[in-house]
Amino acid sequence: METTSTRTDLAFLKALGLNEYNAGASTGTQWLDYGTELIESYSPVDGQLIGTVYAASKDDYELVVTTAQAAFKVWRTWPAPRRGEVVRQIGEALRKYKEPLGKLVSYEMGKSLQEGYGEVQEMIDICDFAVGLSRQLHGLTMHSERPKHRMYEQYHPLGLVGVISAFNFPVAVWSWNSMLAWVCGDVCIWKPSEKTPLCAIACQNIINEVLRSNDVPEGVSGIVIAGREAGEWMSNDGRIPLVSATGSTRMGKAVGAAVGARLGRALLELGGNNAITITPNADLDMTIIGAVFGAVGTCGQRCTSTRRLIIHESVYEEVKKRLVKAYGQLRIGDPLDQHNHVGPLIDKDAVNTYLRALDAVKVQGGKFAVEGGVVEGDAYTSGCYVKPAIAEVENHYEIVQHETFAPILYIMKYHTIEEAIELQNGVVQGLSSAIMTTNLREAERFLSVEGSDCGIANVNIGTSGAEIGGAFGGEKETGGGRESGSDAWKVYMRRQTNTINYGSDLPLAQGIKFDF
């Protein structure tokens, strides 16, 4: 595995309005006073301190929430197309800052520069989607069983939406939620990962000009940067009817329990244990590209990363040989160098988790087709670079049943398509899945009610890389939430059924008589 490294140009930090010290709470265009507790952001690329953020206090949180409550009373009265125009301008601002923001995403999180640019493009795409949606927040009209009555349904904004995002997509997930929520008439409070706080500050700096120029009420876009406690504040706050949380299943269970206890709504996007089924009818050239990118992209730190390959016994050895060859050509190094394929894990805690998983594979009976380990050398001073590994395992191994956020690919054999589907579904997670085949019957079986139990099921593409137009999310311990496209907007609104009597009598439903 080769590598190259380049000296990181940090001019993009200045372009995004980032300083050595930054406030960690904002009501929109106004950053609050500096607090006392510090959050330091170190780059996994080179281990250097990028910047420092003063963590938001509980008082800061209260100010952000009360400002958001006041803003909602005004923002909800704006016509939806007018709110959409604000989002359209936010999309234009993101286009303007795509290069520096993409570099920041790459440098602070560690994903490749192309993926950093791609994440900002996702933000632009969801803005475009939301602008069109702002003229399509439609309900249905129903026929009434009573004469001279009309029934219809309409959707109203919920109010405050709390967004808890994870480090692996430090900006896109916020935009998936906020852009839709804003055109729906909601206001948003963002609790970003404390591992990537500067990305959140940069986003707020980018949109501030748009908010000011359109006289958007202060409080429509709030930020609270702090540790785990900020997520707990949101989850337990009855003033926030919807909390959208992205992260681990463990975190999601805690958020879901807290929000459910107060009968609020939780939109949960949690872990994945995603598999590609490779049949004897697969185009192997296409298959290897999808499998390798899915497994090593973002250094295996996507919720949609490919964790398992379920390979038919007749092509198992050929697929393994091609994978080993492809892994031997991977370049590990500075993700801002576009010649490299694999960047670092987010931090040394993630590295330790990766190493424990490798040990567990051996203890539980697996063997490695490609050995893993930490990459050492002068170009890897952060200590966060690891080698993508391939392990031959059985699906029932405990380590295989759990999601390890690292580039470890598990491969296993199957005999019949029924067995493959059983293996695919034989984990507690249910996010993304794929089958590689040119056989129509195999493809349709995989997509049928007897096939994949995941929220996403693909044919002849990998598990990673969802498009904005489709609803994104999964089943089982992935949480059941849906974000982004299709009719995911409805989760940010409350449905209301209306019946209008335009006659002079008052007939009752079901033919009930009530005369006096």
Q: Under a CB-based contact definition with an 8 Å cutoff, are residues 459 and 443 in contact?
A: yes
Q: Which of 127, 188, 303, 454 is flagged as catalytic?
A: 303
Which helix (DSSP H) or strand (DSSP E) does residue 359 occupy?
A: helix 348-363
Which of helix, strand or coil describes residue 490? helix
Q: Under a CB-based contact definition with an 8 Å cutoff, are residues 406 and 168 in contact?
A: no
Can you tell me the distance from the alpha carbon of 19 to that of 331, in angstroms, rounded to the nearest whole number?
Answer: 32
Catalytic (active site) residue 303: yes
Supply 418's token pair: 């029924």
Q: Which of 119, 122, 269, 483 is flagged as catalytic?
A: 269
Can you tell me the distance from the alpha carbon of 255 to that of 235, in angstroms, rounded to the nearest whole number?
Answer: 6
Which helix (DSSP H) or strand (DSSP E) does residue 107 occupy?
A: helix 98-109
Q: Under a CB-based contact definition with an 8 Å cutoff, are residues 448 and 360 in contact?
A: no
Can you tell me the distance from the alpha carbon of 259 to that of 238, in angstroms, rounded to the nearest whole number?
Answer: 8
The pair phi, psi for residue 297, each rounded to 5°, is -60, 140
Which of helix, strand or coil describes residue 289? helix
Catalytic (active site) residue 269: yes
Radius of gyration of the chain (CA): 25
Which of helix, strand or coil describes residue 215? coil
- Give the Cα-Cα-Cα angle 174, 178, 180 (nearest 5 degrees): 125
Supply 199's token pair: 């990305």
| Amino acid symbol at 222 | G
CA atoms within 13 A on the CB side of 302: 26
Q: Is 467 exposed, middle or buried (0-12, 13-18, 19+ CB in 10 A)?
A: exposed
Q: Under a CB-based contact definition with an 8 Å cutoff, are residues 30 and 185 in contact?
A: no
DSSP string, 418-460: HHHHHHHH-SSEESEEEEE-S-HHHHHHHHSTTS--SSEEEES
Which helix (DSSP H) or strand (DSSP E) does residue 377 occupy?
A: none
Local structure of residue 27 (DSSP, 8 states): S
Q: Under a CB-based contact definition with an 8 Å cutoff, are residues 475 and 430 in contact?
A: yes
Beta strands 274-278 and 408-414, pairing class: unpaired
Q: Which amino acids are annotated catalytic?
A: 269, 303
